[in-house]
Each structure stands twice: as C-alpha cells, then as structure tokens.
Structure 1
C-alpha cells in the first residue's frame, strides 16, 4: 500500500493547450455569462442520437469461474461468460444494444454502464434506478449509446467484492467515420490481492482499506493476465484503449521506446492529441492511445510499465515480430469536432461545493462522506438541464478520491483555484489530499444520477450521493 501523497495541480492532471472556437459575431453575442458558456458548449456532444434501427443482442451470465491470472495457477473468480475481463462488446454508433444479464451468483448484482449516457432507468444503481437482480433472476438493459468511445461495465452492488473478483467488461462504441488502425486493442488494467498460490484475499472493505486509498493489490494485470506478451509488427499503427478497473490503484502507464499520443479520455475524443506524459489513470478512467511501432523494432520486446510510484513496474510486453516492417497507415488522428473554450467559466457562480471527508463509526468503523452525509439517499444537488453549472469538490482528507459523475461529461476548470488547461471531457477526476477541483458541465441527460468516489471501498462505506438533472 502506498503512503498518502500530496498531488499538486501539475502532478495530478496533465496541462494541455488548445485552441478555442472562432470568435462569435458581437452583434449576436449572448447577453449573459451563462448564455455565452452555453453557446460555446453547443455541439460539444449531442443531446440525442437517432437510432439506426439495428439491434445487437447479447447474453451475459455472472457466475463463478476459474481463471489463470498467474500460470500455472488457476484462481477462483467471478466472471461474465467465464472470462476476465468479460467479452468486449462492440457496437456501431447509432445501433441499439440489448444485454440480458443473468445472475448465477449467490448474491444480488446489477450492471452499471460506466461513462455511457444511457436512459436513467438503465444506469444500474440499486435503490436509485433499479432494484437489485437477485440470484437466479435476469434483467435486460437496452439503450442506444449517444457517443462513440471506450466505456466499460461493472456491478454497482457490493462492488468492492464483485469487481475485485473479476466482474467487469468493456463496451466499444465505434464511429465508422474514424480512421482504421492496424490493430484496435483493449487493455484492461487491474490489480489483485492474492495469497496462498493465487487465491483472492477474501476480506473486503477492511479498516486498512478504508483508512488508505482503498484496496491495493500485490499483483497487476492486463486483461486478467500477469505480464502478458502482446504480439505486434514493426510499422503498425495501433489504437490502444486502456481502462483502469482496479478497486483503488492509480496507474500511470508508460510505453518504453514509443511516443504514444492520447486521442481520447474517458471515451471522448480530445480537441487535439497530446503526448502521454505522467497521466494518472484513476479507477474508472480510460485513455485511447495512438501508437506507432518503430519500423526498426523487428524482434524487440518493448515494456509497458506503470510509473505511478516512480519506479517502473512491468505490466506487459509488446513482442515485435521479426519479419519486415509493414506500411504505417498515414492519417490524421481523430479529434473532437468541437470543444468549448470556457475561458470565463470560473467567473460563473458556484452551483454546489461537495465536501469530501471521513468520520469514525458506521458499519465498517470508518464512514466516508459527501457533505457530511453517507449513501445515495443524500440528494446533494439539483442541476438545470441544458444550462451551464460549475461544481467544486473539496477534499478535506489525506487520501485520494477519484470522483465519478454518472450520466454526464464535464470539463476540469481549475485545481486549487489555478486554471486547468485540459482539452478533453471527463466522467472521473482524481482529487489529491486536501485539494479542490472545479468542473464545468452542461447536463444533457435528465434523471437522478449517482455521484461517488470510484475507490470502491470509499463508496461502499458512504462516499456516495445523487444529483438530479431537471
């Protein structure tokens, strides 16, 4: 377990410079600051998505399974359709996804579509949007994703155990207009707390986990495997979709000898690609990388590492085939068609300040709170649909908190009152000890949405609230 670290504004979030939209005609300029911010947002992402009429139907079963995390050992896990991660679901933008989830576990479960702007009833939060799926029962999730990108799905009930045991998968929503890469890879990062020959440590939401940054394991994996070898070819241009599915661990992925460019964060394309440099990938976050394998790399083995703790820890290897290099596709990387400047956003009034803290007591001995309250019965804020809102998260604790807002994307505006220069949307933002962040958003999806820490132990012990968009 790492000790708590003070993450500065420079260290927490990558500073990116970008160009704002063209200046508006003064004769048509909105009269108020709010109107100007909403006008700048227009076209940032769609309110609705017209379905194509095509429906993709999938059956998923949550059940016990055996999985070879560390060969030759077999580990007893919980899995979707017997694999960790579960099957990668791919749909075209505009197609409807219909997933029938059958629960064969001995406890209730649900499925949350992390980052996907689904109808509120499909969000998978028990007690907020749906009842739990009891053992032996099924529930069908049906929705048309509004955005292309990299998303993932996981339980939202007893998450510290169910996700730690392997229940998660990835949803890719493909935009046919985006360029085709040599390979389109999915890398799900996770860590595991194993003992006794690769058995999962069976105690969850411990006081140690709660007093620290959640449950950190002693072994990290890519796609459920310890240090896998991933075959590539010299000259290939690869899109790598990286997902952090860990309970609490923060990763800072690095690819030795390569120059990856970040083209999407949390599923949404950036306004312009930027180099991957010490990006802290918190639980729930995703990155899409544009990577070219050097043409002179035939026969080499390139390390994929995690540098969050400073010393590189190997996650996987890129095994470059010895044959001659292939032709590298030459195209401009995809980017967002529009991204708001919002240079005046910090002048907007604050809609709500969420206070993140902990107190003694509760069922686990330590209760993590939002605004001094615990659990999703806490309706922390009501936001107006289609109007600009500025929110602040103030962390009064000495621990990390990746805050995840369901149903909405937001832009980071400031860290400790210092302007942030990110050129991308988020659905999860990492907040350091005794740090505050400001975010801006224009809610485009009505309903009652969860807002919580994505360190699963913190959320389970109370760091969970709801926001209503109306």
Structure 2
C-alpha cells in the first residue's frame, strides 16, 4: 500500500494523464475540477525530505512570574519560563524533536499550528494523542514539509492556557535561507489586566463568549509595550509577525516603508505584494520584506488599524549608525500557487454554517452546522470526510454577526471568494477571517491522511463548541 504522500502524488499524476490524454485524443475536455487538480501539481511538497539531522529541544510548561508589559512581574504560565516561549529554529529537512514536560495544574498538549506533519503529532487531545497529565512527559517528533513561520500552543483549554502565556514560534528556515541582514520575529498579543495589573482571573465570560472573544486592554509585541527594532540604513530585514491573541484582529500598517508581503501562514506568495490592509487574525502569520534605504532622525512608529478610528501602537523602528550595503537578491516569494480561476465553477462540496445558541456548560454554544463540539474527552463523528488528492470547494456561511477566523489543521487552502465575489489571493492560508454575515469560499487539495481539526481561532468560540473534525481518507 502506498504511503499517504505517495498516494496523493499518484492521484494527482492520474489527473494529469487524464488531462493530457483527453486533449491529445480530441475527446471530452477536462472538467474545471480536473484542471484545478492539474494546476495544483508542484504547489508544495507532498512529503517531507529528511536530511537525517535531528534537532532536540526541551520544553517545560509551568506557572511562573516574568517581567512583561512594562517590566512589572506578571503571573503567567510559560514554556521554559519565558513569554513568548523559546524560539525554535530548524532548517528545512531537519527533524524536530521536542521533549515536553507538563508542570501545570491542568492537562495539556502542544499543537504545531500550520505545520504539515503526521497526524499523531498534531496535539489534539483524544483525537491524535492522550492529553499530557501534570507531571508527565511527551515527545513530539516530526520533519516539517515546508519552510516558513509557524507557532505552537496548547490545544486543551486553549482560551485559558494561551491567554496565560503558553505560546511560542517555530521557524523552519529554507534549505538555503535568503541572505537578509537580519531575521526578526514580532509576536503580537493582548492582555486583559485587572486593577492589580495581573491577568483578569475569569476566563470564558459570557461577554467574551457573546462577542469576539477575549480582547485585552494592553497590546504587546514580544511581551512588551515598548518594542523597538534598531536598524542601520541599508539593512534588509525579514520581519515575521504572529498574532497570538485569543480574539483580537490586527491590521499592521507599514505605510511609508519599503515593505513587501512575501509569505502568509508560513507559505511563500507567487510574487511579493504590498502588505497594506492585511487582517492578521488570531493564528495568522505574515512575513514582511523590509528594506531601509532612507534616513530618519525620528522613530518610525508602527500602528495596527483594524479599527480605523482607534489605531493601536505596536512598536517603533529606529534607524541609527552608519549605512551598510543592502543585500541584493531576488524575493523568495516565487512559489507555485494555483490561480484556480475556475474554482468557483466546481460544485460546492459542503457549506459549513457558523452560528450560536444558548445552552451548554458555558451558557452559550458556538456551532458548526448546528452542532457544538462537546469537549475533547468525547468521541466525535467527523463533520466532513474528504478523499486524499482530490480538489474540493468548501464554503463558510457565517449566520452570526461575530468574527470567526477559521483554522484548518493538516492542510492549506486558497481563498476563492467573499460573498460570491472572486478574490485573487496569490497565496495559501491555514486560517481565514470570516466577517459577520459573510460567506467565504475556499479551495483545497487534502494530501495527508488523518483526522484533522477545524475550528474558530477565537479561542473562546472554540471552547464553546465551534470545532469539528475533518477526516481525510485514502482514495
């Protein structure tokens, strides 16, 4: 029997043969679905290519105090005593091994957000692994298929555990990384503090559940409100941004800078584009190519403008020192990303309906197709079953007025349309923001067999039931 990646490759190859044979024989032309599958060929690796090198890290989750925000000691839960957690960096082709120890008062797991990996390493309790109990150790080991910016966080009581500080960045460098002057990470988060400047102790409140999750009263970059990036004129910087918030959406504004968007959710674009207006929802990542060929005596202030009337300061960039030569190389954003102009002609396979109702253990249930996920400890029928190596068009119908950033585990997709209007995005995603009363069409080709979670990444919505499983079966 073929392994999952070989099976997917065989299925895609069969579609190509069908396409060419029909064209050469003058027979029935290929359908839009067959042409879409043909265009998918070579979009990204179908299997990991291991170099045999293993990078081993130890991660410990435990309560601690760290000087965050304004330097005040904040009681948090942290990986290795720091928030954000330690930055894990490996090279494409290397194997990541993480020895994880749980010293929390709760069970937990680690989900490797955006990484295409074996299903058993995905970190979904009871679906892909038993939860890691207090005092226990679990070893995660996998070879990523893609280079890019990813992150890790718990998938047990995420609305509490992530909010307390449990998250970190995983960077998978290219086999030959572009020669940027520097590679910089900004982790954006917000914190809801009480009058003592500690975390507000109540989680999953009715207000948060009824609205767009828990939005904090302090926004930080890398755990601080005074983050400064100091660069020399001429430097070319790769800036990786992650939104680790529970619910807040941010729209970073790089106006006035020589900035290009080169990657979304870890995947390179077909070609670099302007980054203006990109809505960085919880879970989303973007990579920005910044060239500083100007002189400025004043700090360059970076704001986020999701609410145009209430911009929030994120960080400052300071140019200082003697100029340096700017690294001269072509943009790494030159991936093969299918256009799928006929994607909307492919019959819709399924429409997920997103809504809410009263009831459940939290008083409000957020539902997918009228069902609320009843907790990780229960067995669940899949909300959808797909076949490996096939092209699908799916739709999200938001029947509520709230935001829902929908995240798929184990697969990337391309946005096709919003409210029926085609969208020309030149990149794949693993998370898409669905606005209130909006309908969104996506397209994907699942390549990895397994039971994969799909959920809203407003963590309070997920905790209240807006989760389901997608089973990907062998053809």
- Same fold flag (TM > 0.5): yes
Counterpart check, 1:57 vs 2:60: no
C-alpha deviation, 1:27, in angstroms: 2.7
RMSD: 1.4
Show the counterpart of 1:100.
99
- Report 1:26-105 matches (<5 A): 26-27=23-24, 31-105=30-104
2:349 counterpart (342, 351, 362): 351
Give the TM-score taking structure 2 as reference length. Answer: 0.91
The 5 Å alignment of 1:124-163 reads 124-163=123-162
Q: Corresponding residue for 2:281?
A: 282
Return the offset for 1:293: 1.6
Cα deviation, residue 47, structure 1: 1.0
Unmatched 5+ stretches in structure 1? 1-23
Where structure 2 has 5 or more consecutive residues not aligned to the other structure, the ranges are: 1-18
Q: Distance in 1 between matches of 2:249 and 2:36?
A: 32
**Alignment partner for residue 396 of structure 1, among 395, 399, 402?**
399
Deviations 1:26-46 (A, max 9, x none): 438963332211110000111
- The equivalent residue for 1:15 is none
- Structure 2 distance, partners of 1:81, 1:115, is 22
Does 47-56 or 307-316 show the bigger shift? 307-316
**Equivalent residue in structure 2 for 1:335, among 330, 333, 336:** 333
| Equivalent position to 2:441, from 429, 438, 442 | 438
Task: Give 1:313 shift.
Answer: 1.5
Q: How does 1:68-467 map to 2 (within 5 A)?
A: 68-297=67-296, 299-310=297-308, 311-321=310-320, 323-375=321-373, 377-467=380-470
Distance 1:466 1:91 in 2: 30
How does the TM-score come out when normalised to structure 1? 0.92
Q: Deviations over 1:284-341 (max 9, x none)?
A: 00000001123323x43111111111132211111222x2211111211112431112
Aligned residue for 1:199, secondary structure, equals coil
In the alignment, the residues of structure 2 paired with residue 238 and residue 72 of structure 1 have an alpha-carbon distance, to the nearest angstrom, of: 27
Structure with more relative contact order (C-alpha pairs < 8 Å, separation 6 or more)? 1
Q: Deviations over 1:253-305 (max 9, x none)?
A: 113531311000000000010001111100000000001123323x4311111
- Quick check: 1:256–1:303 contact (8 Å CA) kept in 2? no
| SS in structure 1 of the partner of residue 156 of structure 2 | coil
Cα-to-partner distance string for 1:143-175 (whole Å, 9 max, x where unaligned)? 000000000000000001100010000001111
* Aligned mates of 2:203, 2:438 — CA distance in 1: 28
Q: Distance in 2 between matches of 1:84 and 1:194?
A: 16
CA–CA distance in 2 between the matches of 1:440 and 1:319? Answer: 41
Checking the alignment, whether the CA contact within 8 Å between 2:295 and 2:319 is kept in structure 1 is no
Displacement of 1:195 in angstroms is: 1.7
Of stretches 398-407 and 28-37 in structure 1, the one that deviates more from structure 2 is 28-37
Q: Number of paired residues?
A: 445
